[in-house]
Structures are given as C-alpha cells and as structure tokens.
Chains A and B, each alone.
Chain A
Amino acid sequence: MKPGTKLKSAVCDTEVMVIRSGTGAIECGGSAMGEAKPDAVGTPAADFSAGTLMGKRYVDAAGSFELLCVKPGKGSLSVDGVALSPKDAKPLPASD
C-alpha cells in the first residue's frame, strides 16, 4: 500500500491514511478497509469495536504498519486479525 493512501472502514466512519505498510490486510471493526466506501455499511465485530481516535497513529508490534486516523469511528484497527495499538509519542516542546 502506497504511503498517503486513504482507506475507509466498511463498518463505521473511520478513515485512515497509510504512513507505512507491510504485507497483510488492513481492517477496521474486523472487516477489510478499502479506498471506496461500500454501499451497505456493516457493523463492527465485537472484538474490534473499541473505536478509533482522530489524529492517533496506530502501529503493529513489528513496526511494519503505521496508520494515521483522519476520521474517527466505532470500529478498531487490525492487520490480518491482529489488533493495532496506538503509538505513544513522547511529547516534544513546541519548537516553531
């Protein structure tokens, strides 16, 4: 997946921008995300319904995937069924 690609959730309002991606299916609410929104919007799977937060970056344990949430929603993000976690960035003082 090319960095900068925007993906939409098939089950909620979530939209992400791909910052980094390896091999695997990017999912939201347990369903694959796509560049277009499906006509019929499904519901998030119970295990993937913690929600996404605007402006948060989500990463996998190996560091091969990084997604930026540009629109929040009810589903949560995963790759091939493995949940992504929010990236903890050490706050830096404003420098400009």
Chain B
Amino acid sequence: MNIALFLEMAADAAPDRIGLVCDGQRWSYARLLAGARGAAALIRDSGCSHVALLDESSEAAAMALFGAAIAGVPYVPLNYRLADADLAALLQRITPALIIGDVARVERLCPSADNKVLARGDFVTAALDAAADAPIEADEGDGVAIQLFTSGTTAAPKAAILRHANLVSYILGTVEFGAAPEEDAALVSVPPYHIAGIAALLSSIYALRRILLLPAFDPAAWLDLAAGERASNAFVVPTMLSRIIETVDKGVQPDLSNLRAVAYGGGKMPLELIQRALDLFPDTGFTNAYGLTETSSTVALLGPDEHRAAHAATDPAARARLASVGRPLPTVEIEIRDEDGRCLPAGEPGEIYVRGDQVSGEYRERSALDADGWFPTRDAGYIDAEGYLFLSGRADDVIVRGGENISPGEIEDVMLALPAIAEAAAVAIPSAEWGEAVGLILVVRDGHEAPADEELKQVIRARLRSSRVPERVLFAKSLPYNEMGKLLRREIKKLFAA
C-alpha cells in the first residue's frame, strides 16, 4: 500500500479536474501527479534519506508529499516558525535530506554538502521538467510515509512516524472515493507540518474535492478566499474560528452561502465560541474532530446533527455534549484506563487509549503501542453513558494534590463562565503541604475589573470543591500559546516559579 495511490486514482478518474488552487494558480490532478512523479525522480537521484519542506503551504507541499511516497523516502514537513536553535537540531536529525523552501535559512543553520536545498519555485519547475521521464513504480521503502516532529509542548520534539499502511487505512475508512460533487472545494488553512494539513490533502484528493490552500492564515484573507472560490468545506483550529468571527463581527459580510461544512480540532474549543458559531452560521454543519499526529488524524468525531441537537437542547446533560469530541470512528476503538492500566467504566476519568489500523503510535526511537496494539495518548478524559468522549487535558497536566487528581480543565471552565474572565489556565505548583497545589492564572476581559482572590476562591469552592481552590492566583495581560493555539503550560509554570 502506498498513499501515492490516492493521487494516481484521482488523476485516472478525473485528469483535467482542478484538484488544487493556490495563490491564484489552478492545478489539475494530472498535473499534480506529473509533478509528484517528477519530484520522485529528483528525490531518487539525490540519494537523500528524507524529503523536508520548510515552507508555507503550496502546490510544492502536495508534490513533495506524493513524490516522496513514490520514491519511498519519508516526507518531513518542518515547522518554519521554530526558533533557529530548535530548527537546526531537527535539520541535523534528517540529514542527508532534500529540503524544499527557505534555502538561505537551511544553509545558515545546517550547512552540509550532503543536503540538496531547493527554493519552492525551482523545485516545482524541476519536478515538472523531470516528469517527462517514464512514470516510475511506487516504492514503499521501509514503509514510512511521513515523519512529523511533535510540537513539544511538554518535552523535546519526538519524531512520530506514520506508515503508508496507517494513512491508507485512515483514508479508506473515512472517505469514499470521488464522493465530492465537482463544485465542492475545501479551504485548508492549517500549516503543512500539522497532521490536519496533511490529512486534508489526502482526504480531499481521494474525495476529488478541490483544495483551496491559504498559505498563511489571516481572517480577512480566509473570508475572501471562502467567498471568492465558493468553499463548501473548511478545517480550522479554534483560534482561527475565533478570529474569523471577530472579523465578521466588525461588519465584514462575505458570501458564505456555499459553506456547508466546517470541521475543527487541534485544540480545545471554548464552549462560548462554538455556540456563537452555530448561531452565526445556522446553515453550516460543524464537526469536531479529535485526533493526534500518532493516530493519523481523526479518531473520534462529533457530527453536525449532534452539534445542532446539543445546541438546541434544554436538558443540561444533552447540552453538555457540545463540549464532547464525539464518538470513535467505526474503525477505531477507544478505552479509558487508570494509572495501573485497568479499563474504567463510563463516566470515570482516566487516560485515553486508542487502537486501530490507522494508529501508528510509533516514534523513530521506539513504539509506544502496548502488546495488544493500544496507544496511550497521554490525553485525559472520560466516556459518558452514551459513548461520547470528553477531553480534560493532557494526562501530564493533571494536578496531583495530596493524592487527589485534579484536571485543570474543570477549574478553567468554571473561571471562563465568569463574565470578567477572558482566559484561564490552572497548573500544578509545588506545595510543601500537598506535594502539588493549584496555581491559577487569569486574563481579565477588557472593560472589566479583576475579581478579588477571595471571590474567585469562593466561586470554585461553591462550584467544585475545596481541593480545587487555588493556592496562588496570578493575573496576566495574555497567556502563552503556540502558533496552533495550544496553551504552553510549561511557560505558565515558569511564571509561578519566578
């Protein structure tokens, strides 16, 4: 199995149909495949061990992804927002590589004669030129299609690997070939080094859904592209949705009448934000997708009907479902386990374990799968009586106060329900008495007064229980997030240590 199959099938079934639009240029499936085959020839000739992309999204990302697959060499999209020292360390780990994108930066950070570095335009031209050669047979190499460095919010980046078999299984299990009508188009604004950005290319190409690439997210540009190209689908991270809504609230009124489906994931969606989005776009179906790099993207989803039902419900339990990430895919199993690995019943919080053919759970250094193929996600959560999965943060973020496990999410949710609070984060801080205690950091909403410590403690004591009451409360102008909107808890811990 080789993911190149998806582009080959698309080019066979609809060679002249436009598969990708970027910066006003339109690429048919046949031309994308020609570029990928040419890229494969370049990759084989280079003798490299990895194909890296250090660039924003463009047609080059699709050609590199499928070209690497045909050549049987792992594709490694890199985070161009990393600091020099961090990026240099990653480049060292993949040499000798064929690297596409920022030539000057690569040569400055990792000057090695073993690397071949090409600017985006030069790569695309060279690939299309090389495409005239006889089509080459796809080779799986060692079976690894993609190597993605994890974002490293808790530790140094790990090299997660996804095999062709994982990704093929994910796509065949979730997408029907050629299912998209010709007028459909999916707006992709997540960066190419994010699993959602890669999954979007694979899913949309297999569905024959035209991809609209937005290389750098900006809410006004997103709205322009969605309206101008009549996008029918989009994937956003919560931060993007928030900024899109802010822009609409400022009076921008784009024609989004074709936008039938918005999927979101990659971070916690604030309840208030999704409720606002459901009201603002009453004819759009929203899908919450939960997944990880190590699981080839989505493993559970909350679909459009479930969103509307929860939003319209009056019963608190049914309304609460809007905060769920939904139910497992039919091809995936999910269990909640305690610290000793015992499977927990409905409603009991613990660590989320996932199993399925799409789950790699594998790093360059080791596989994290247990003997039965289960992957410990390090995400904490629980499954309700109806089988809906709820996340409560990273297992590593749990605050253990005097032997009691406290999920930061429960405290943060109570704080965010207060009108004066815009952002909230709870972290573990050292405590002589309890081992760990709760540290709470808050951002006050513009135009509001910071509530008194005693008032906050009173609210938490009343809504939760006394063990959740913070030992220390700090106020900040903003909280530290990475570029995908993930809260950097290790940075917050430093604020308490200071």
Contact = CB atoms under 8 A, between A and B. Distances in A.
A4 B1 contact: yes
Interface string A41-83: 0000000000000111100000000001011000000000000
A44 B460 CA distance: 73
Contacts of A40: none
Contacts of B13: 54-55
Interface residues of B, number: 42
B172 A19 contact: yes
A92 B172 CA distance: 11
Given A4-B1, A55-B13, A96 B261 contact: no
Interface size class of A (residues with CB under 8 A): 10 to 19
Contacts of B199: 96
B1 A96 contact: no
B1 A95 contact: no
Contacts of A3: 1, 165
A23 to B, nearest CB: 21
Contacts of B8: 70
Contacts of B383: none
Nearest to B165: A3
Nearest to B8: A70
Contact of A93 (B2, B164, B186, B261): B261
A4 B2 contact: yes
Contacts, number: 76
Interface in B163-210: 164-165, 172-179, 186, 196, 199-200, 203, 206-207, 209
B59 interface: no
Contacts of B196: 96
B297 A96 contact: yes
A95 B263 contact: yes
Contacts of B96: none
A96 B172 contact: no
- Do most interface residues of chain B lie in helix, strand or loop, or is the interface mixed? mixed
B172 A95 contact: no
B233 A54 contact: no
A36 interface: no
B5 interface: yes
A68 B12 CA distance: 15
A93 B176 contact: no
A93 B326 CA distance: 12
Nearest to A4: B1
A95 B298 contact: yes
A57 to B, nearest CB: 7
Most chain B CB within 10 A, of A3, A89, A90, A92, is at: A92
Contact of B186 (A54, A90, A94): A94
Interface of B: 1-2, 5, 8-9, 12-13, 140, 164-165, 172-179, 186, 196, 199-200, 203, 206-207, 209, 233, 235, 261, 263, 265, 285, 287, 289, 291, 297-298, 301, 303-304, 329-330
Interface of A: 3-4, 17, 19, 54-57, 68, 70-71, 89-96
Given A70-B8, A94-B209, A95-B297, 9 more contacts: A4-B140, A17-B1, A92-B175, A92-B329, A93-B301, A94-B263, A94-B287, A95-B174, A95-B287
